[in-house]
Each structure stands twice: as C-alpha cells, then as structure tokens.
Amino acid sequence: MNHISVIIPVKNGAATLSACLESIRSQSLKNIEVIILDSSSMDDSVAIARRYGAMVIPVAAGTFNHGLTRNLGVQYATGDLLFFTVQDAWLEEQGMLEKMALHFTDPAVMGVVGHQAVPHEKDKNPLLWFKRFSEPVINIRQVAGAQAFGNLPVSKQQALVAWDNVVAMYRKTALETQPFVATQFAEDWIWSEQALKKGWRLIHDPSLVVWHYHHRSYQYSFRVAYAVNYHLFKFLRYIPSIPSLIMPMIKATYHLCKNPALNTREKWYWLKYNYSGYLATYFSHLDFKWRLQLGGDKAVQKGYEQYCKTIPQGKIKDDE
C-alpha cells in the first residue's frame, strides 16, 4: 500500500481540529503523514496539531491562497498519495483512506474524490442531514483531451469538473506535474478541468464520506456565492443561472415542519435560517449576472473586490 500524506489548511481551528485529526489517527492505515498548513492561528490549533504528531508548516499572515498554500503542502509531503481535507471535517469510517487509495492500483487514475455530507446533529441544518436513497455508484471521469472536452455541452462539462478538496486524494506526481493555480476559491474545480483536458482519469466514489458543515449567515452565504461564481467565470468561463427561490422555500417549509426530530422552536429557527440562505444566494447570483450584463468582466471584478476583500471562513453554530 502506498504511503499517504494528509494535508490540512488551518486557521483558528481549535474547536474542530481534534475531531478531524482523531478520525485520521483512527484509520485502518497507519502509515499516514499529517501536514498542517497553519495561517497564523491565534488559538490552540498548533498545539493540537503537534499533540497528534502532525508536521506544522507556518503560513505567514495575509498570504493564504487556496491554490498556492496547498501547493506548499505538496512540497513538504513525502507520500505517494496526497489526501486533502479541512480543519472542520472528519472521516466517516476507519477504512476510508484505505478504500480511497485502492483506486490508485489503476495506474491511469490521477485523482479520486468522495462525498462530503452533513451528520444528523441538532446544531446543523436539518435540511442537509445525510440520507442515502440508493447504493453509491463509482463514476469514472475521462475524456479524450481538450478538444473532446470542449465539444461537450456546458452542463456536461460542469458535471465532470465538479471536485471537492474537502475529500480528495491525488497522486503526488499529478500535483507536481499540474499544481493548483493561484486562486482564492475553486482550486479543486480548476484542477479537475485541467486534468480532464489532459486526458487524465479521475474517479468519483460517493461511498467515501467525510462529515463537514458550515453554519452560514446571510453575509457569509452572499459572499461565498459571489466568490464561487467569480472564480468559475474567471477560470472556466461558466456563467451562473439565477437560482429558483419560491419552490426551495416551499420545500423547506414542508420538510422542516414534518421533521419529528425538531421541536417548534427549532423548526422556526431553521426556517428563518434557510430562508436567509436562499435569499442571500439568490441576490448574490442576481448581482453577479447584473454586473456581467451591464459592465462585463470589469464590473464583475469590482464586485469581487467589494464583497470579498477577505476570504470567507466557515463557522460552527454558536450555542444559543
């Protein structure tokens, strides 16, 4: 079995980092190197990382970049296979990394992505609680180079490109050949598009689950939606469509009101929470499309500079 390096960007992650690292230490594979890319944390993140035997690589304040900082982790990693996750995620099962690594017995496979999911916990949005409706099916993503990729409908391109560095493993040689680009968002999607255009084989295995959740304010949802749309447009020229608003609200009301695990106060809280998120995403997309139509790339860039001066960082739900 190949040696595995786990690479985790961290900033003030003390509230969740122990659970993340414990899930890694509990893996059936024991030959695992853990690398923490710490962005000047002001809490106990570094102490926690060292308690778990992780290598801590300092990232100077103000220099974090979703693409380039991960490349820094690649430089320090000694593993043949590199697994990326984040400080507030944890692995569902003890054999997950072993199962993921087995895909690389096929020498043509350059990357494997799993599925991030939300556990059934009261401090997490009940509308996102994970439930399987069918058996997971492994999907092989590969096209015959850049021209074949370009000939696909945009919807098919987007489906193939979808990638997730919360739960992704790569050959180190693949990341050395094709590093992540300098970007503050969507470094995983951009990488997978480049890989597919090279004709590389990528695997999506939804049976590989990592638990992960961000509690979102209106401002956080608005900024994240704009940042994602901005980067997918800038690098991949994907133009977002305006999301529906009324139907998601109706469905949210129905599913939350009939959820027997929630009391009346909790149902009301999560209704307001989800309505706020839908509105934030809707108006963020609308703002992006309006800027693009009236002012083109320059107007979109101005919006990004206005809304995303700092990288939005996910939060956990505060006790109330």
Q: For residue range 111-144, what is the model confidence (pLDDT) as tens digits? A: 999 999 999 999 999 999 998 878 889 999 999 9
Residue 315 pLDDT: 62
Q: 313 in a domain, yes or no?
A: no
Do 110 and 200 share a domain, yes or no?
yes
Q: 64 in a domain, yes or no?
A: yes
Burial of 173 (0-12, 13-18, 19+ CB in 10 A): exposed
Q: 316 in a domain, yes or no?
A: no
Do 194 and 267 share a domain, yes or no?
no
- Segment 58-81 mean pLDDT: 94
Do 233 and 159 share a domain, yes or no?
no
Domain boundary among 212, 238, 268: 212
Do 142 and 286 share a domain, yes or no?
no
Q: 255 in a domain, yes or no?
A: yes
**51 to each of 34, 48, 56, 125, how far by Cα in Å?**
12, 5, 11, 31
Domain boundary among 154, 187, 212: 212
Do 94 and 187 share a domain, yes or no?
yes
Do 50 and 73 share a domain, yes or no?
yes
Q: How many CB atoms lie within 10 A of CB 106?
A: 11
Domain boundary among 166, 192, 212: 212
Domain residues for the domain of 160 are 4-212
Average predicted confidence (pLDDT) for the chain: 94
Burial 40-61 (b: 16+ CB within 10 A, else e): ebeeebbebbeeeebbbbebee
**pLDDT tens digits for range 262-296:** 999 999 999 999 999 999 999 999 999 999 999 99
Residue 280 to residue 277: CA distance in whole angstroms? 5
49: domain CATH number is 3.90.550.10
Do 35 and 167 share a domain, yes or no?
yes
Count of CA atoms in the C-beta half-sphere (13 A) of 171: 19
Q: Are 136 and 209 in contact (CB under 8 A)?
A: no
Do 140 and 284 share a domain, yes or no?
no
Phi, psi of 36 (to 5 degrees): -105, 125
Residues paired with residue 139 on neighbouring β-strands, in sequence order: 204
Q: Where do we find the tokens 């002001």?
A: 42
Q: 319 in a domain, yes or no?
A: no
Do 187 and 274 share a domain, yes or no?
no
Q: 312 in a domain, yes or no?
A: no
Q: Using the Cα atoms of residue 209, residue 245, residue 315 and residue 37 in order, give the sign of their dihedral.
A: positive
Say which residues have a Cβ less than 8 Å from residue 82's Cβ, sequence separation at least 6: 4, 5, 6, 7, 73, 74, 169, 170, 171, 172, 175
Q: What is the pTM of this model?
A: 0.93
**pLDDT tens digits for range 218-258:** 999 999 999 999 999 999 999 999 999 999 999 999 999 99
Domain count, the chain: 2
Q: Are 311 and 184 in contact (CB under 8 A)?
A: yes
Q: How far is CA 265 from the centre of its chain?
A: 31
Q: 320 in a domain, yes or no?
A: no
SS3 145: coil
Q: 315 in a domain, yes or no?
A: no
Do 204 and 64 share a domain, yes or no?
yes
89-91 and 201-212 beta bridge pairing: antiparallel
Do 251 and 273 share a domain, yes or no?
yes
Do 294 and 169 share a domain, yes or no?
no
